[in-house]
Amino acid sequence: MTIKKILIALLVIIWIWFLFFNNDEIKLGPGVFAPSDPIQTNIQSPKTFEFKGYTITPLAKFHIKGKVLSRRNYNFGKSSKLSPIDLAMGWGRMSDESIIKDITVNQRGRWYFWKYTTLPIPSREIETHSANMHIIPATKSLKKMIKKVKKGNIVEFSGFLVKVTKPRFSWKSSTSREDTGNHSCEVVYVDTFQIIDIP
């Protein structure tokens, strides 16, 4: 076996391990660590701007403090350069590990999915207190910071819910926490971000 083939095999093994067996997760214990709903202020007269070859239209100012229920990097596809990571966020009782231990959250194809062994709270509460968010970091330093986020972290970030367009591409954020299914994800242009330290 040539060195090139050995290196390719090692890269494949590392990729499979990272994708399926890397269970690095922050455990904080029981308790509601993000009690408040996200804060949103709709924008009446938005001003568009260009970003990485896309036209960005802010729809609403947005701020959230929540628990990362799942996270997924995207390195391929039209949207990956713009939004390299999705965060599935939970708040209210969806930030309490005594609740979410019975709920499994997965992400794929820019969607998030949840299922449960025993339903710990009403399904409608799960739907309205969690969301999949396509994260658009405003700067390289923010991108680097966001990529350090782990499942289980409490994070806080602000920015804008946005509509993104370019030829043959369109992404429009949901502006409601009440919707489900297609077009219910938030597309968030993030200009401040922090991982909250829990004592």
Domain membership of residue 10 (yes or no) is no
Q: Tell how strand 39-42 and strand 54-73 pair up.
A: antiparallel
The better pLDDT of the pair 1, 105 is held by 105
Give the CA angle between residues 134, 95, 72 to the nearest 5°.
Answer: 30
Whether 128 and 178 have beta carbons less than 8 Å apart is answered as: yes
Structure tokens at 181: 């299914």
- pLDDT 10s digits, 140-196: 999 999 999 999 999 999 999 999 999 989 999 999 999 998 889 999 999 999 999
Instruction: Give the C-alpha separation, 58 to 79, whole Å.
Output: 17
Domain membership of residue 111 (yes or no) is yes
Q: Ranked by mean pLDDT, which of 12-21, 110-119, 134-143 comes out on top? A: 134-143
Domain membership of residue 123 (yes or no) is yes
Positive or negative: CA dihedral 21, 25, 30, 35: negative
- Kindly report the pTM of this predicted structure: 0.85
Per-residue model confidence (pLDDT) at position 23:
52
Domain membership of residue 148 (yes or no) is yes
Domain membership of residue 161 (yes or no) is yes
Q: Which domain holds residue 176?
A: 26-195
| CATH assignment at residue 60 | 2.40.50
Domain membership of residue 8 (yes or no) is no
Per-residue model confidence (pLDDT) at position 124:
96
Buried (b) or exposed (e) across 60-74, using 16+ Cβ within 10 A? bebebbbbbbbbbeb
Whether 163 and 59 have beta carbons less than 8 Å apart is answered as: yes
Domain membership of residue 3 (yes or no) is no
Total structural domains in the chain? Answer: 1
- Show the DSSP H helices in the chain as ranges: 3-16, 97-100, 123-128, 140-146
CA distances from 111 to 23, 102, 131, 132, 164 (A): 20, 20, 10, 7, 17
Q: Which of 157, 160, 183 is nearest to 172 (CA)?
A: 183
Domain membership of residue 14 (yes or no) is no
Per-residue model confidence (pLDDT) at position 183:
85
